[in-house]
Amino acid sequence: MSFEWLWRLAGRQAGPRDGQGLNLEAMDLPGIEAVGGTIALPAGSRRDEIEGSLALKVLSAHLANFRQVSFPLTLDFRSFSNEEAALVMEAAALALEADDGGWADAGRREKAAETLARLGASPEQRATLLAPSMPVGSVGSMVETARRLDKAAHAYAVSLVVLGHRSAVAQAYLTYLAARLGLTSNVVGSLNRRFRA
């Protein structure tokens, strides 16, 4: 048994984007019996048995964490079109409005603008958050645009980033937003692990 197919596949694909690799030994992976069947290995050398066992561990780890590996969402404003950037900035503004203190909390808006600057938001885009009056928008129209542009997960992620803390109001808004955007619990969990401050 050879791992050449694995090296060819792994060489072409980018790994997890959050900078963390999998520690297979530390993970509690199910044994072959728990997977629901047995794998018949041809009679061969000890090396074939070891490679087969390692291949099963790698596959099990991939399947256990498939959302993070298969759905590597990044927030990079430099890669967004103008319409997509406007969408995520609207999502950020709505999240800040929904949180404790609302739009009147200028300190929270400045902190959110600094966070989005680290993600590549231009000064013109960040100016939306620094304006004294809230931009006109609603969750319903933002959700429609997010679904049309296929950026629902991005809208949720940017809301998660700008809210940052775990207040009851912020958590209730994020739960509501995830339901409105139609995000599955797997996607929400993956985004929370990746972007939660």
Question: In which region does residue 97 sit, left (phi positive, over 0), alpha (psi from -120 to 50) or beta (all else)?
Answer: alpha
Pinpoint the residues of the chain covered by CATH 1.10.3680: 77-195
- For the chain, give the mean pLDDT: 79
Query: Is residue 23 classed as helix, strand or coil in its secondary structure?
Result: coil
For residues 27-35, average pLDDT: 58
In CATH, the architecture of 77-195 is: Orthogonal Bundle (1.10)
Distance CA 17, CA 11 (A): 15
More confident residue, 173 or 25: 173
Tell me, what's the pLDDT at 9?
Answer: 61
User: What is the rounded average pLDDT of the residues 142-167?
Assistant: 89
| Confidence label for 19 from pLDDT (cuts 50, 70 and 90) | very low
More confident residue, 73 or 170: 170
